[in-house]
Structure 1
């Protein structure tokens, strides 16, 4: 791995990519909103050189310009609702437009790949008497596609970290169990069979918004 300032001649086993996971919607099947009956899981694959060299500095600069510090979490729901610390978006249309344009410009310039899964929970529940958990289906699908992409990028044998947002004790434990079962080829229960042993997979919890 090159480009991250290692002074040692020993090559570390880390992948030179980071993967971030995020979700939209509730993965439960007991009930769901008719207006949003889907669960979405997205994995963002970004090269570390691009992450530390351009993406993080651009986001930090945006935060410093608009908030005076870089501890703000750019959460889409809070931005859309213009709730604190984004209340200033309500007061000035020109400022709001400039802020949103700046975010769009950062994303547009960023180098990353997206692998996603969208589960229609209503269709899933109607089709199967005992359907699998939408989160389990989504993470298996995303990991399958990600594994194939990492092999295309020549990342075989590397330690690949996947950063998840913490959701709570029991949910985090269930997610880690599912993730590790898939990564060890125990949880590949779909029709497709992907050998995940080509990479070393490690889930990493990201701080909750209240902890960041």
Structure 2
């Protein structure tokens, strides 16, 4: 399970994922070009197209962000604070993984990599629901990340992509006992789609 994996295994997986993104940049850019062309044909504003658009430099940037995570200390097991009671009993507050983290976000495909990396570093599985406009790109990114993570020793299904439709958000929010927390990220559209999100126990 992810929550019990040692730091070196998680960091090796993140490094391998970063390397794979760079090696398979053409695959990502082909999918992204199709997303950008479809969005442009739909009359999407240029400012939104720019957030959607990837190039080799931007792919290298998200890969570098994964490597930056490797350099950070592992939060799992970190003792936040503690004290000793008069009777000698020691109390400690320790950081532990949440479990399965659902994240709902819009447009920017770099969030796919950032969210997956942060979840894996902290011992959590990532269940990602991006926007329809970036679905081809996100599919390519998650395919690379999940294949590489599994080869590096992480459990299958550590990173998964949900369909980019409204129904998937409702199912995510109602998956109590399966999804431990849902995080909406982005503007009013994504937040309203995720209204009522709270930890799912």
Is the shorter-chain TM-score for this pair beyond 0.5, marking a shared fold? Answer: no
Taking structure 1 as the reference length, the TM-score comes to: 0.28
Greater gyration radius: 1
TM-score relative to the length of structure 2? 0.29
